Structure 1
Amino acid sequence: MARGFRRLKLLLIIAVSPLSMMPVVGAAPSSPFTKGVRTSADVVQPAPLQQDVYILGPGDRLQLQMLDPSAQAYGGSLEILNDGTASLALLGSAQLTGLTISQATQWLTQLYGRFLIRPELTLSLSQPRAMQVTVLGEVQTPGLYSLSAGGEASAVAGVAGAGNPGLPTVVSAIQKAGGITLNSNIRSVTLRRKLPGLSNEVKQVTLDLARLLQNGNLSQNPFVFDGDTITVARAQDPLPEEVIALGAINLSPQTINVNIIGEVRSPGPLQVKANTPLVQAILKAGGPTDWRARKNNVELVRINRNGTVSRQTFSMNYNQGVSNAFNPPLRDGDSVIVPRSLYGKTVDVVNQVIAPLGQALNIYAIYCSLGNNNGTNRC
């Protein structure tokens, strides 16, 4: 009777479970949640990424607990290996990569049901793996970055609760890549994410970081998952003024290095805060020298990312705020040249002419003095 009841229960579990069609232990299960989902190429607006569930992968550490007191010895700590499997007591190894925690719980319950009368269990994530995230587009240093779930902090100035030291977000990934460039469009940040399962289906959403920085809309700063791709779009010229204002918060590097050359009191390399406007940088270098500086013809020399050099001329105006047209924010590596005025050039020419004459007169005076000392009148 007991044996017949056990067989009936096993048949019910297999019939009811949504994962009943999964392969044997060690094989890679497919996700039932990916059926009928269209890819990003179909241009379908997905559900908010903030509501996505965590997908297990190599490096994750899990805690398994059997609810049956007589089977608790089969529980314990698990780690998903590079091949996507985890070693489990009684089962050997099982493929867990690509599953959510809920799916993995159902999958292991089904597997243990082949050996145990009460296979009920709980599965929790004890230590998540490092997130491998690709950051592209208008950031200082595009590339692949590893964001530790336990050590990355994401904080946006003026936005309460925008950061969580245990969970990396889109903003922390952009900060890891050196911050945005001054050509970035923070209203168009694309996030591509792989869907659960072993398929290559992805979904895509466009984030508006301006809404995060202006209104504290945290839905625009979702947590990043392993394999995410973040692309910061390039802004159309001219650069929107709001990008300059908002980008100065902390989406850009904290400090940059620039060169202030020419008629300033302290010329040379200078370290300033990111997005420092041209006029402020000149003032930090001591300001233009009186009479000698040509303030209406200050030149900004910039090396672009493609290796080309651009030169622009601006007029110093102490009453002008940050503006692309009149007082642009500086980038790392910029050179500012404050040229000489007509007065300064005239003084330099005169000095170049008088200085040699003065030296000649001094030599002549010394020659005459030596002759007089010898009793001879040379002059």
Structure 2
Amino acid sequence: MHNAAGGIKSQIQPFREKGESPKLKIWRHLTAGCLFGLHAGATILPGALLLSIDAENALAATKSSLQNSIAQSQIPIVPFELQNTPPQRFRPNPQFRIYRLGPQDSIGVVVPRFPELNGTFAIDGEGNVLLPLVGKLRIAGFTLDEAQERIRAAYNRFVVNPQVTVALAAARAGQITLTGEVVRPGFYGLGAFTRLVTVLVAAGGTTTQADLRSVLVRRFLTDGSYIEQKVDFFTPLLAGDPLPDLVLQDGDAVIVPKLEVGNLATYDRQLVARSTLAQPNITIRVLSYDRSTIANLSLRNGSTFIDAVTAIAPSLQTADIGNIGLLRFDPERGRVIMRELNARRAILGDASQNVPLRENDTIVIGRNLLTRIRFALTTITQPFQDILQFLFFFRSFTQGTQNIFLGPGSGTGNPQ
């Protein structure tokens, strides 16, 4: 900076004259100071501008990076295989979407330019509506479009080319029949636009023997014929898709089929058991030698062996929890399958010992009692035809409780 000042002074030095006046001297100093300021500004300003531009660029880059980081943190992590997989929407038979009018339905009628013809009209027990000018007109059994055309044709006798719009104002109450593998089959009343899944839940859910892949809905038409629609609830449960949305109508019949032998391998019964469509509870039977008891135990559907052991709470001093029997009827072979489970290993996390439970399973606690039941089952040569025969065998076996829990010639049983 001193060199720059010296250069400026050397440039203006030749213009000095001896004997210059004080005013001229002051003017000369002011001129030198201004020139020095301009020179310094011209030297420093470009650098400052470059620093300012670099700072702005760095700030913009930091801001962009921060925004990208925030945006990425807000993006949910979705498994790759699900990103491009559209849900499988339920597409019922188009005839099942048609609503046919009947007694106790109410329709709304709008005729532009003729407000005196507008209104809401109820269908009487004979299937007629009472319209202005027209009087009684039968529309029961017709769709809304067909009823609209009938009303338009009726008003055409009084109005030139009437424009008529008909809509459903209130749907009638109805009744459907529910049969098959549900907890409480029977007749169920319908509200307006009641859905199939709502009726299944209201009936207590489906049983453990139900096949949710082919629930059948049968609808009877006015001419005496009927149409059918199969509804698959299992696949949406498996894939995480929306459940089928089928609206029931008055007179529908719903049949929940039984799971056929041979179709068990492709059907996840445990998944269905944990769903809201299945019955909420299951009942298993417990034979406890150390407590000399036979009891029914109610558990949440989808419970496992550990849940049952926890509810039973066997004595750790007298019960052999390392060897507990589980009896289950196998419909494919028509026989009772007995499996010995170790509750200690199940509690410690051995998944092979913590098996899912099913309706009518039997748990046997006590080595001596387990041996007797195993012997009784080995003497049966003919297979059980169904679960009812197995239950009958179990009931016959447990009727003689004195012989089961008391050893021969002793007054009390010896816990094993």
Scaled to the shorter chain, the TM-score interval is 0.5 to 0.7
Q: How much does 1:110 deviate?
A: 0.8
Q: How much does 1:275 deviate?
A: 3.3
**CA RMSD across the alignment:** 4.0
Correspondence for 2:228 among 204, 215, 218: 204
Q: Who is 1:145 aligned against? A: 188
List alignment gaps of at least 5 residues for structure 2: 1-90, 372-404
Structure 2 counterpart of 1:341, which letter? R
Q: CA 1:169 to 1:291, structure 2 compared with 1: closer, same or farther past 3 Å?
A: same
User: SS state of the match for residue 281, structure 1?
Assistant: helix
Is the 8 Å Cα contact of residues 293 and 338 (structure 1) preserved in structure 2?
no
Correspondence for 1:188 among 205, 210, 214: 214
Q: How much does 1:89 deviate?
A: 2.4
For residues 368 and 280 of structure 2, the distance between their equivalents in structure 1, rounded to whole angstroms, comes to: 38
Is the 8 Å Cα contact of residues 207 and 279 (structure 2) preserved in structure 1?
no
Correspondence for 2:311 among 284, 305, 325: 284
Q: Are 1:83 and 2:126 an aligned pair?
A: yes
Q: How much does 1:98 deviate?
A: 1.3
Q: Are 1:227 and 2:227 an aligned pair?
A: no
Q: Who is 2:399 aligned against? A: none
User: SS state of the match for residue 224, structure 2?
Assistant: coil
Is the 8 Å Cα contact of residues 282 and 300 (structure 2) preserved in structure 1?
yes
Q: Who is 1:158 aligned against? A: none
For residues 238 and 107 of structure 2, the distance between their equivalents in structure 1, rounded to whole angstroms, comes to: 38
Greater shift after overlay, 180-189 or 127-136? 127-136
For residues 343 and 217 of structure 1, the distance between their equivalents in structure 2, rounded to whole angstroms, comes to: 47
Q: Who is 2:56 aligned against? A: none
Q: How much does 1:106 deviate?
A: 0.7
Q: Are 1:66 and 2:111 an aligned pair?
A: yes
For residues 253 and 296 of structure 1, the distance between their equivalents in structure 2, rounded to whole angstroms, comes to: 30
Measured against aligned partners, the alpha-carbon deviations of 1:212-238 in whole angstroms (never above 9, x if no partner) come to 212354474422222222222211236
Q: Are 1:316 and 2:328 an aligned pair?
A: no
For residues 241 and 211 of structure 2, the distance between their equivalents in structure 1, rounded to whole angstroms, comes to: 17
TM-score by length of 1: 0.61
Structure 1 counterpart of 2:302, which letter? N
Q: How much does 1:248 deviate?
A: 2.2
Q: How much does 1:68 deviate?
A: 2.2
Q: CA 1:337 to 1:192, structure 2 compared with 1: closer, same or farther past 3 Å?
A: same
Structure 1 counterpart of 2:340, which letter? S
User: SS state of the match for residue 99, structure 1?
Assistant: coil
For residues 87 and 353 of structure 1, the distance between their equivalents in structure 2, rounded to whole angstroms, comes to: 84
Q: How much does 1:242 deviate?
A: 0.9
For residues 182 and 121 of structure 1, the distance between their equivalents in structure 2, rounded to whole angstroms, comes to: 52
Structure 1 counterpart of 2:123, which letter? I
Q: Which residues of 2 match residues 23-62 of structure 1 at below 5 A?
A: 48-49=93-94, 52-62=97-107
Measured against aligned partners, the alpha-carbon deviations of 1:236-260 in whole angstroms (never above 9, x if no partner) come to 2363451332242111122345554
Q: CA 1:312 to 1:131, structure 2 compared with 1: closer, same or farther past 3 Å?
A: farther
Q: CA 1:329 to 1:95, structure 2 compared with 1: closer, same or farther past 3 Å?
A: farther
Structure 1 counterpart of 2:275, which letter? I
Q: CA 1:285 to 1:102, structure 2 compared with 1: closer, same or farther past 3 Å?
A: same
Q: CA 1:173 to 1:50, structure 2 compared with 1: closer, same or farther past 3 Å?
A: farther
User: SS state of the match for residue 185, structure 1?
Assistant: coil
Q: Are 1:243 and 2:269 an aligned pair?
A: yes
TM-score by length of 2: 0.56
Q: CA 1:204 to 1:275, structure 2 compared with 1: closer, same or farther past 3 Å?
A: same
* Higher Cα Rg, which structure: 2
Measured against aligned partners, the alpha-carbon deviations of 1:322-343 in whole angstroms (never above 9, x if no partner) come to 99xx945333xx4744333359
For residues 136 and 352 of structure 2, the distance between their equivalents in structure 1, rounded to whole angstroms, comes to: 61
For residues 322 and 344 of structure 1, the distance between their equivalents in structure 2, rounded to whole angstroms, comes to: 20
Q: Are 1:100 and 2:128 an aligned pair?
A: no
Q: How much does 1:132 deviate?
A: 2.2
Q: Who is 1:159 aligned against? A: none
For residues 280 and 178 of structure 1, the distance between their equivalents in structure 2, rounded to whole angstroms, comes to: 22
Q: CA 1:313 to 1:297, structure 2 compared with 1: closer, same or farther past 3 Å?
A: farther
Q: Who is 2:381 aligned against? A: none
Is the 8 Å Cα contact of residues 59 and 128 (structure 1) preserved in structure 2?
yes
For residues 133 and 322 of structure 1, the distance between their equivalents in structure 2, rounded to whole angstroms, comes to: 44
The number of residues matched between the two structures is 279
